[in-house]
Amino acid sequence: MMKICIFAGTTVGGIAGGMIAGAFGMDWISLGNFVLSGIGSVVGVYAGWKLARKLDE
């Protein structure tokens, strides 16, 4: 369950970071988009990990 939650969090977080970069007018292949997508993925990993721990209780 842990791996599925982390995978889903990474995917959703990365997409959300890319969409935020797009909202700021960044191109899809820009450094800013890459950075924001990476930050979103890290936040998604943390959120997925916390969710999996909560579900395992």
Per-residue pLDDT of the chain in tens (57 residues, 90 and over written 9): 999 999 999 999 999 999 999 999 999 889 999 999 999 999 999 999 999 999 998
- The distance in angstroms from the start CA to the end CA of the chain is 12
Domain that holds residue 15: 2-56
The Cα-based distances of 17 to 46, 50, 55 in angstroms read: 14, 19, 25
Which distant-in-sequence residues (6+ apart) come within 8 Å of 14 by Cβ?
37, 38, 40, 41, 44
The number of domains in the chain is: 1
The whole-number pLDDT of residue 8 equals 97
